Amino acid sequence: MNTFLQELSKKAAERWAAVLLGPGLLFVACVLVGRHQGFTHAFDLAHLRAYVRSVSTDKAYQEPAGLVMAASVVLFGAAVAGLAASSAGGLVERLWLPAGPSRWANLLVRWRVWRWNRREREYRTAETEAQRELVRNRLRGIDTPSRSGELRRLLLRRDAYSEREPDQPTWMAQRMAGATDRVAKRYRMDLAEIWPHIWCVADSQVRDDIQGVRDTLAGAGRTTAWGGGLLGVAAVTYWWPAAALGLVLLITGHRRGRAAVDTLVPLVESAVDLYLRETARRLGVLCPHTFSAAVADRVTRVLRVPASDT
């Protein structure tokens, strides 16, 4: 047991160092360099070398006590920055996948509906023109060139944005809502209601796969948070390379977040397809052949039994 706890603590320390301390040290370095270089000497290596030389020759940092103090301050700053980025990463995830309606969410929904309607009109207009052209050419006895490729491209472009008229403020939230809609249509079950039970029944490999993607999403949120932090450093110190690096991290984090959600959705739906019948059986509802509407109603009644009736 002691060996197990030692290995667990070692892995936790390695994970903490990789996730928080490493990027935190880079952030502290950007703060120090940005504060000294500023806007005027953004890429002035001679100016930076002079600063490093002055610090290294300072007697206060040559003594063991001063060196330990400086290292402690840097490590402490990196740890604080890492913890702040971790918390901010959770906030980024809540912005990507908001829990409920709000004023900003409603504004984003209206904007997304406008964009979706524009793509929908493009597809419907092209479809109508293709049908009219087909009718005209048939009356004239002329072969009509196929426009299926163009129509498919416009349809995929619309569905890539949203398969239906958006009602969520972000693409990621809409993607998750699409999974909820498909589960409800296929099984007449509320995904949020049945998911905790499916998670308990699912195989460990399936849970590891889903948790791995979930960790990737959390990492994408932290990357985006680091990008926002570097933009803040650039705004305070006027060291514009920090802004460039921050923008790269923002874009990278957002793309990784979208990719993680795009992978998570089919994994969740597959888990529902594979383990919904077993979940019903564990809940005491017979499901001999297929998960029918009657089975779904019985499972829903079991899940919604008030606590006072149990």
Is the pLDDT score of 194 beyond 80? yes
Q: What does the alpha-carbon distance between residue 29 and residue 35 come to, in Å, rounded to a whole number?
A: 10
Stated pTM of the model: 0.80
pLDDT tier at 297, thresholds 50, 70, 90: confident
Q: Which residues contact 119 (CB under 8 A, 6 or more apart)?
A: 154, 157, 158, 161
Query: Tens of pLDDT along 127-167?
Result: 888 888 878 877 777 777 778 888 899 989 888 888 888 98
pLDDT at site 2? 44
CA distances from 97 to 11, 166, 168, 181, 224 (A): 30, 14, 9, 16, 14
- In tens, the pLDDT along 16-50 reads 555 566 788 888 888 888 887 777 777 767 777 77
Report the C-alpha gap between 221 and 215 in whole angstroms. 10
Whether 193 has a pLDDT exceeding 80, the answer reads yes
Of 58-62, 135-139, 185-189, 252-256, least confident by mean pLDDT is: 58-62
pLDDT digits (tens, 9 = 90+) for 160-188: 888 888 989 999 999 999 999 999 999 99
Alpha-carbon gap, residue 216 to 146, rounded angstroms: 42
pLDDT at position 174: 92
What is the DSSP code (8-state) at residue 307? G
What pLDDT does residue 7 have?
43
Residue 8 has pLDDT above 60, yes or no: no
Write the pLDDT tens digit of every residue in 226-240.
999 999 999 988 888
Residue 10: per-residue pLDDT: 46
Question: Is residue 310 very low, low, confident or very high in pLDDT (cuts 50, 70, 90)?
Answer: very low
When pLDDT is averaged across residues 239-267 and rounded to a whole number, the result is 93
CA distances from 179 to 53, 225, 273 (A): 58, 27, 12
Q: What is the pLDDT of residues 97-128, one digit of tens each?
A: 987 777 788 889 999 999 999 999 999 999 88
What percent of the chain shows pLDDT beyond 70?
A: 88
Residue 47, both tokens: 């100016």
Residue 114 to residue 224: CA distance in whole angstroms:
27
> Which pLDDT value is given to residue 19?
56
pLDDT for 196: 92
